[in-house]
Amino acid sequence: MDKKVILTGIRANNNLTLGNYLGAMLPIIEMAKSRSDNYQVNMFIPDLHSFTTPIDHSKLYEQIIDAARLFIAAGLPTKSANILMYRQSYIPAHSELTWILDCFTGMGELSRMTQYKDKSAGSADDRISVGLFNYPVLMAADILLYNASYIPVGDDQTQHLEFTRDIAERFNAQFGNIFTLPAPLKSQREFFSQEKGIRIKDLVDPSKKMSKSDDSNKGVIFLSDTPAEVKKKIMSATTDSIGVINYDHENQPGISNLLDIYSMVSGKDIKNISAEFTGKTNYGELKKAVADEVVRLIEDLQSKLDKISKAQAVEFLEFSEKAANDQANSILLYAQIAVGLRSKAK
Ligand code: ATP
Ligand code: MG
């Protein structure tokens, strides 16, 4: 592998919001497209991670295929040698390396992970799965098996990234240079600094972000919404009583959120959008413009999605999985030799 690897996990979920699409999916696809000349971009669906807490297992398999279809529909190139999209469980090395790393990880170390503490808080011990506890080790394997350098992790995952560096360092100190350490957090942040997406806010309560697990879905646009639903939600978005349009998140969060959505969906710069609307007094006109753009986007995406078959998604995944297995198995073998599970002699 000569190119540095960027690795990112894609959670399989059928119920994506406009926020997920604009804030996560599109930036990832843009990143894959723009970086794949100089980097290898590994996108993987962390299916083994998906039931550390209970889920509906009868839907999981289909959700994974649909997640891949959605990425293809949204423009992810499937013919680039430098862009892979694979399912974690189809690369058995992830589970194997996890076990090896488990035996070099302290209970105390994992007990201190804040995400574990948050997610397990309030549950009886027997209700907390060992998988939830062990998740950071699987994540370390996800990263180390591909010598991944750059991993766009959110704040809730930075501790796991530090843990990955720690365990790799410890392993290397004992066995020689087996693993490549992912870049330290500061360099990660610098590397991804331009790719930070904007937060889309809830349409009813623009003080919080649009989130799929919101109690009431009135302020949340789903990619599966009908045009009528989209229109209704945007036309009834909460605004303010100021009566003049300004791009001012502090004093006019609802209006500013609509301007942000308009800018991102239309691809026009926020400065131009603001200039176009600033000083106008007709909120309805802005809402209608936003609704038209969002409807167009969702209709276009849905019609593209209809044309991507499950077979096409599986073909892309399987192609990627072949390449991913080759990469992962070669690193796994170094680790297996190091701990004495395989012969040193070639
Ligand atoms: P949940 O309510 O289950 O937390 P969510 O809609 O907040 O769901 P996540 O699964 O937490 O979505 O996040 C998936 C990805 O989408 C993350 O990369 C996150 O940064 C991004 N994302 C989520 N909501 C928004 C939003 N409103 N605006 C921009 N990006 C978002
Ligand atoms: Mg969330």
Q: What is the pLDDT of residues 242-277, one digit of tens each?
A: 999 999 999 999 999 999 999 999 999 999 999 999
Question: Which whole-number Å values give the CA distances from 138 to 40, 98, 164, 253, 328, in the listed order?
Answer: 21, 5, 10, 40, 13
Task: Give catalytic status of residue 119 as yes or no.
Answer: yes
Question: Tell me, what's the pLDDT at 92?
Answer: 98
Residues 56 and 94 in one domain: yes
Q: Is the pLDDT of residue 194 over 90?
A: no
Question: Tell me, what's the pLDDT at 13?
Answer: 77
Give the residue-averaged pLDDT of 66-81.
96
Q: Is the pLDDT of residue 1 over 70?
A: no
| CATH number of the domain encompassing residue 69 | 3.40.50.620
Centre of ligand 2 from the C-alpha of residue 211, in Å: 6
Task: Give catalytic status of residue 201 as yes or no.
Answer: no
Residues 281 and 320 in one domain: no
For 212-258, give the DSSP string.
TT-SS-TT--BTT--HHHHHHHHHT----SS-S----TTT-HHHHHH
274, part of any domain: yes
Q: Which ligand minimizes its atom distance to the CA of 19? A: 1
- Annotated catalytic residue, options 3, 209, 288, 304: 209
Categorize the per-residue pLDDT at 209 as very low, low, confident or very high, splitting at 50, 70 and 90: very high
Residue nearest to atom 18 of ligand 1 (CA): 24
Q: How many domains does the chain have?
A: 2
- Annotated catalytic residue, options 3, 119, 218, 304: 119
User: Using CA atoms, how far apart are residues 182 and 204, in angstroms rounded to an integer?
Assistant: 40
Centre of ligand 1 from the C-alpha of residue 222, in Å: 12
Give the least confident one: 190-194, 243-247, 296-300. Answer: 190-194
| 110-127 pLDDT, tens digit each | 999 999 999 999 888 888
Categorize the per-residue pLDDT at 214 as very low, low, confident or very high, splitting at 50, 70 and 90: confident
Element (H, E) at 84: strand 83-87
76, part of any domain: yes
Centre of ligand 2 from the C-alpha of residue 34, in Å: 26
Question: Tell me, what's the pLDDT at 329?
Answer: 98
Residues 300 and 333 in one domain: no
Rg (CA), the chain: 22
Q: Is the pLDDT of residue 183 over 70?
A: yes
In the chain, what percentage of residues exceed pLDDT 90?
89
Q: Is the pLDDT of residue 197 over 90?
A: no
Task: Give catalytic status of residue 304 as yes or no.
Answer: no
Residues 245 and 332 in one domain: no
220, part of any domain: no
Question: Tell me, what's the pLDDT at 76?
Answer: 97
Question: Tell me, what's the pLDDT at 196?
Answer: 60
Average pLDDT, the chain: 95
Give the least confident one: 149-153, 320-324, 333-337. Answer: 149-153
Give the residue-averaged pLDDT of 296-303.
97
Residues 108 and 36 in one domain: yes
Residues 167 and 242 in one domain: no
Question: Which whole-number Å values give the CA distances from 83 to 76, 169, 260, in the listed order?
Answer: 9, 28, 30
User: Using CA atoms, how far apart are residues 206 and 19, in angstroms rounded to an integer?
Assistant: 13
Residue nearest to atom 16 of ligand 1 (CA): 20
82, part of any domain: yes
Question: Tell me, what's the pLDDT at 195?
Answer: 60
- Given ligand 1 and candidates 11, 20, 223, which is best to mutate, with the most ligand atoms within 8 Å of its CB? 20
Question: Tell me, what's the pLDDT at 52?
Answer: 94
Q: Which ligand minimizes its atom distance to the CA of 211? A: 1
Q: Is the pLDDT of residue 288 over 80?
A: yes
Q: Is the pLDDT of residue 63 over 60?
A: yes
| 9-56 pLDDT, tens digit each | 998 877 899 999 999 999 999 999 999 999 999 999 999 999 999 999
Q: Which ligand minimizes its atom distance to the CA of 208? A: 1
Residues 19 and 47 in one domain: yes
| CATH number of the domain encompassing residue 237 | 1.10.240.10
Residues 273 and 315 in one domain: no
211, part of any domain: no
240, 241, 243, 246: CA torsion to nearest 10: -40
Question: Tell me, what's the pLDDT at 70?
Answer: 96
Residues 290 and 320 in one domain: no
222, part of any domain: no
Q: Which residue has the tokens 């991804």?
A: 192
User: Using CA atoms, how far apart are residues 260 and 60, in angstroms rounded to an integer?
Assistant: 33
Centre of ligand 2 from the C-alpha of residue 219, in Å: 15
161, part of any domain: yes
Residues 14 and 113 in one domain: yes
214, part of any domain: no
Domain that holds residue 334: 5-198+310-339
Question: Tell me, what's the pLDDT at 11?
Answer: 87
Q: Which residues line ligand 1 (CB under 6 A)?
A: 11, 17, 19-20, 22-24, 154, 197, 199-200, 209-213
Give the residue-averaged pLDDT of 153-175.
95
Residues 125 and 31 in one domain: yes
Residues 286 and 315 in one domain: no
Question: Tell me, what's the pLDDT at 346?
Answer: 66
